[in-house]
Amino acid sequence: MKTSLKIMLVMLVVCIIGLFYGLQYFMMEFADGADYTEQDKREYDFYTPELLKNMPRVSNTYSFHYSNVSGPNPALIYRADFSGTTDTSRINTYLAQNGFKKGGVCNISGDCWTGKDPNITVSVGVEENLSAIRIAMVDKAG
Q: Parse the chain into domains and list their residue ranges.
A: 1-30, 32-139
Whether this model's pTM surpasses 0.85: no
Phi, psi of 131 (to 5 degrees): 50, 60
Residue 126 pLDDT > 80: yes
| pLDDT of res. 2 | 78
**Residue 142's pLDDT band (cuts 50, 70, 90):** low
Statement: residue 83 has pLDDT above 90 = yes
Calpha distance 87→59 (Å, rounded): 10
Q: Say which residue, 12 or 43, is predicted with more confidence.
A: 43
Chain mean pLDDT for the chain: 87
% of the chain surpassing 90 pLDDT? 56
Q: What would the pLDDT profile of 28-44 be if each residue is shown by its tens digit? A: 777 789 999 999 999 99
Query: Is residue 4 helix, strand or coil?
Result: helix
83 and 136 Cβ atoms separated by less than 8 Å: no
Tell me: pLDDT of 99 over 70. yes
* Spatial CA neighbour of 136 closest among 108, 96, 101: 108
Residues 6+ apart with CB under 8 A from 1: none
- Look at residue 44 in the predicted model and tell me its pLDDT: 95
DSSP 1: -
How far CA 34 is from CA of 78, 117, 131, in Å, comes to 10, 25, 23
